[in-house]
Structure 1
């Protein structure tokens, strides 16, 4: 996956996240299906941002960005800030 594709995916996920959050505000919450989808979108966004950072770091330090691997959701979600 190339940087441009990851950035496009991030953009689409951000739009979906906004739509879900707007819906939540208008409706006073989300039904269980939409809550589950919002969580999936948030996790996927974390994975995409992580992959993009990994690719850019490899490129910056002379590595091949195409060797960067997407990390499992549970690993990305448990990173410490």
Structure 2
């Protein structure tokens, strides 16, 4: 698969997750779910979003430095989240 095509697939997944986040917030506001359910699901979404952004950044960095972007690997959320600490 072409590099730009793979990047577009990652960006499409990010867009889907952002829409999922909006739906969760709307479900909470309308009383369809409770706050703890929203927080749990939002946490899962945020971790997966961080992993997607990390993978996209890896791919772009590899391309910038003349490496193969397809060598980038999704890292576990524990590693990606650990960057903030």
- TM-score in same-fold range (> 0.5): yes
Q: TM-score, normalised by structure 1?
A: 0.84
Report how many residues are paired: 80
Cα distance in structure 2, aligned partners of 1:15 and 1:25? 15
Cα distance in structure 2, aligned partners of 1:18 and 1:77? 22
Q: TM-score, normalised by structure 2?
A: 0.81
Where does structure 1 lack aligned partners over 5 or more consecutive residues? none
Q: Among 69, 74, 80, which residue is 1:76 paired with?
A: 80
RMSD of aligned alpha carbons: 2.1
Runs of 4+ in 1 over 4 A off after TM superposition: none
Where does structure 2 lack aligned partners over 5 or more consecutive residues? none
2:70 aligns with 66
